[in-house]
Amino acid sequence: MRVLVAAVALLAALAGRAEGQDRVVPQSPAQVQLSFAPVVSKVAPAVVNVYARRVVRQAVDPFFQQFFGANPMRSRVEQSLGSGVIVRPDGIIVTNNHVIEGGQDIQVALPDKREFQARVILADARTDLAVLRIDTKGERLPALQFGDSDKLQVGDLVLAIGDPFGVGQTVTSGIVSALARSNGGASDYQFFIQTDAAINPGNSGGALVTMDGKLIGINSSIYSSSGGNVGIGFAIPSNMTRVVVDGALAGGIKRPWFGADGQAVTAEIARSLGLQRPEGVLISQVYPGSPAAQAGIVRGDVVLSVDGFAIADSNALRYRVVTHRPGDSASIRFWRSGVARDATVRIALPPDQGREEGVIAGQNPMQGARVANITPALADDMQMDFMAKGVVVLSVDRTSQAARFGFQQGDVVRQINGEKIASVAQLKRVLAGVDEWNIAIQRGDRVLQLAVQ
């Protein structure tokens, strides 16, 4: 009977493999007792600790100033602790941007207790990833290879490795609980791997690895009401991480765009369009000449999939596009007039032609503001609507008239004295030669009016 059971289990496993499935559940008590130790010994040397120190100035209590002559401002050192992953043997390390943000002195500690001064090559708040470099003096360090996060399936076993609470390198195991999760603004690209492998403070920037020792994600955040692990952790997929690392080593991230946007299809929208179920993104705007426009996408179409991956919302659509390289072709399926259609999109960078920048001078309310014409590339950099037109404030000199009147980065100048503003040159002309200004500014969803004499 035992031989028969073993034979049936073996045939079932082989049948699963014959169908293209290389994932099987344990078939015997011996398999259940298998250890993760070989995987851990392979990947653990490439997971490091990251320490970021920053000097913070804060006001001293007036009591101490009055009676003890204390300096009104004092400095103190704050230190953040996180983890990182060596992804290149020559000392290239990836971690979370929030681990090193604002850090003035960043140290990396290897598992063998050696410490190195780290230099930030790239810090990208939009993906919450940062790329560091340490000088290894020619030594080749253990490094993890990237896995393909698109091949993950819910239920796959994974290991999380990092330094929670600063207690030392720790390994936890779990499964992939969900894919393509949003996580309340942790990054601009809300497309996370969810896992129940225990992730706690200090794990940020650590490795999420598969059973073959491949880096499949960078542990980023947790969902918790208490600050501790409750079995819901989020990791940035390896395919996004690889794009950031490659961009950092090439001089900067180049983010492709689709040139169209919209909203997730609801049940009501699906019924009105003849879709069997809510799926895809209903396109509400298409930029002329964009990759979407060249592929024939128009307003009212529903993008259902990209390269065979289902699109649930705008986050998924952006992720599928940005993980391509400029020049790549992507196959899309979209719904129009009750019929599913296929097209090919040529992935490209957002155009930047016609950008003009300048600093406003002279006696006027915007003196000291650095401004620019809005292009799709600039709108993408500043996370604005890519259809936006006009002139946007890039920065404001703190000692300028613009700062005095409250101008902020991201303000869009709409009108001055009733004239619509379309370019930096026009803005400078309209501001000059008058002593009274009525300025309309768009700040987010609000339009503000400023009258100055």
Q: CA-CA distances (angstroms) from residue 100 to 66, 78, 299?
A: 37, 12, 41
Alpha helices, H only, 151-277: 238-249, 267-273
CA dihedral 431, 435, 436, 439 (to 10 degrees): 20
Q: What angle do CA 309, 313, 315 make, to 5 degrees?
A: 90
Q: How many helices (H) and strands (E) does the chain have?
A: 12, 25
Single out the residue of 54, 161, 165, 158 nearest to residue 111, CA to CA: 161
Q: Of these residues, 177, 204, 314, 400, which one is catalytic?
A: 204
Residue type, 339: V
Catalytic residue status for 150: no
Catalytic residue status for 324: no
Give the Cα separation of 410 and 265 in Å (integer). Answer: 30
Q: Give the 3-state secondary structure percentages of the chain, helix then strand then coil, rounded to 5.
A: 20, 35, 40
Q: CA-CA distances (angstroms) from residue 162 to 40, 85, 165, 172, 403?
A: 12, 9, 10, 9, 43
Phi, psi torsion values for 18, nearest 5 degrees: -65, -30
Show Cβ contacts of residue 66 under 8 Å, excluding neighbours closer than 6 positions.
none
Q: Of these residues, 98, 177, 261, 411, which one is catalytic?
A: 98
Single out the residue of 274, 194, 273, 180 nearest to residue 230, CA to CA: 194
Residue 186 neighbours by CB distance under 10 Å = 17
DSSP state of 436: -
Contact 440, 415 (CB under 8 A): yes
Q: Of these residues, 80, 83, 124, 128, which one is catalytic?
A: 128
Token duo for residue 80: 């953040």
Pairing of strands 412-416, 391-396: antiparallel
Contact 239, 323 (CB under 8 A): yes
Catalytic residue status for 112: no
Exposed / middle / buried, residue 42 (Cβ in 10 Å: 0-12, 13-18, 19+)? middle
The residues that are catalytic are 98, 128, 204
